[in-house]
Amino acid sequence: MRVPRQAVALLLACFAASLWAGQVDIWITQDSPLQQAFVDTLAPALADAGHEIGAMVRASAAAPTPGSGQVVVALGLEAAESAIGHTEVPVLAALISRRDAQRLIRDHGTERIAAIVLDQPVERRLRLLKHLLPGVDSVVVLLGHTMESRRGELESAVRDAGLEARVAVVRDQSEIVGTLERLLDPRAALLTIPDPAVYNRDTVMGILLTTYRHRRPVIGFTAAYVRAGAVAAVFSEPQDIARQSARLLTAGASLEGFRRGLHAPAQFHVAINERVSRSLGLPPQSELDVLERLRAQERAE
């Protein structure tokens, strides 16, 4: 009896899918809405490629029990370090800062580790600044002493954007306001950097009040900073990082073959504080319009 060609193709496709299907274990630090949003987005994205989520492991447990997945997706620094120490499989760290990801890679190498960081590329943030603030010609950046190694990189990025770089290193939080007073001028903007030594809940109001008193705009690094008083920010949601994680894991011939190293967030959003924008005399702009223009610029470049 002859088997129809379509049936053969279907059987071959099913066989190939069974060979391809794999499991991804998730290591978490705690139950949180952000981590749950990540998992809820990752699961269907993996399923679309024939994979599934295996074990959910709490990294904070006294003796975490590894699952049997081919790879681990670890949410946060603690989960990533625990997964590296308790498993032998490749680890993709997500919902992690650039600084923490660089430390992981420095300490453990890139043979097993990749990370998709939350920090936006500084070039993307400078595009936002130039688009919203055409009257600005200099950019103030404050760094804590542990981030001083980034000074040259940030100065080059600002200069490449056609702006003057005013980068200062503060050794103590008590120096922040005085340094801002010295560096801000009528054509400057503050570009905040995810550096907890400078930007934390003890310093945020002093920084924003100082810039507001000088009537100088602030580009934040989270939507929360925009709500607090920054004029705008680009940021990524956990769902964006989850979709990027699924694409990275399923791009190769096997789950284990994903590209190692540090990855910037690919998908992002724009937040604008309309009240602050009006108070600075800036023309009204739609967040969606600004987002589309930034995306178009990145595609063009």
What is the pLDDT averaged over residues 14-31? 73
Residue 286 CB neighbours (<10 A)? 10
Please report the pLDDT score of residue 16 as a whole number.
Answer: 42
By CB atoms closer than 10 A (0-12, 13-18, 19+), residue 179 is middle
Pick the range with the lowest mean pLDDT from 12-16, 91-95, 214-218, 269-273. 12-16
Q: For strands 218-220 and 188-191, give the pairing.
A: parallel
Euclidean distance between CA atoms 245 and 263, whole angstroms: 10
Each residue's pLDDT tens digit, 193-220: 999 999 999 999 999 999 999 999 999 9
User: 122-235+269-300 has which CATH code?
Assistant: 3.40.50.2300
Whether the Cβ atoms of residue 232 and residue 220 lie closer than 8 Å to each other: yes
Domain map (residue ranges) of the chain: 5-118+239-263, 122-235+269-300
Nearest to 116 by CA among 247, 300, 250: 247
User: 5-118+239-263 has which CATH code?
Assistant: 3.40.50.2300
